[in-house]
């Protein structure tokens, strides 16, 4: 009798688990909030491309940290918005700019 009860209990548990796992899951979509701009950063490198990448990396860090401060993540980033054009200084190139970004807020 105990074996049949244990079997029935196990069968009931398995059926309940199957029903729960097959039920459609409702997930709320994240919202990509209105954009903000980072501060201006000056990047440098061995070329204009490297200087631009340096600006982006610095601005990306600010955007990521800002979104993470409220438990969110970045959902959009623009390319670098140049405020001071790339120029050569000896063997180094520099450029100044910022990016626009948005934070995703998930419920």
The 3-state secondary structure of 13-31, one letter per residue: HHHHHHHHHHCCCCCCCCE
Q: Distance from first CA to last CA of the chain, Å, rounded?
A: 49
Alpha-carbon separation of residue 70 from 4, 6, 41, 98 (angstroms): 53, 49, 23, 21
- SS3 of 73, please? strand
> With contact defined as beta carbons under 8 Å apart, do 30 and 106 qualify?
yes
Model confidence over 22-55: pLDDT tens digits? 544 445 688 998 899 999 999 999 999 999 999 9
State how far the Cα of 65 lies from the Cα of 55, in Å rounded to an integer.
Answer: 16
User: pTM for this structure?
Assistant: 0.71
User: Nearest-CA neighbor of 105 among 65, 68, 61, 60?
Assistant: 68
pLDDT in tens, 47-97: 999 999 999 999 999 999 999 998 899 999 999 999 999 999 999 999 999
């Amino acid at each position: 009798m105990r074996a049949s009860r244990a079997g029935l209990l196990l069968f009931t548990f398995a059926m309940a688990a199957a029903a729960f796992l097959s039920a459609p899951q409702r997930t709320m979509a994240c919202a990509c909030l209105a954009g903000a701009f980072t501060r201006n950063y000056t990047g440098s490198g061995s070329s204009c491309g490297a200087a631009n990448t340096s600006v982006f990396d610095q601005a990306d860090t600010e955007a990521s940290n800002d979104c993470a401060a409220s438990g969110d993540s970045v959902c959009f980033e623009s390319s670098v918005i140049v405020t001071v054009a790339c120029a050569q200084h000896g063997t180094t190139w520099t450029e100044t700019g910022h990016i626009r970004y948005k934070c995703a807020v998930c419920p």
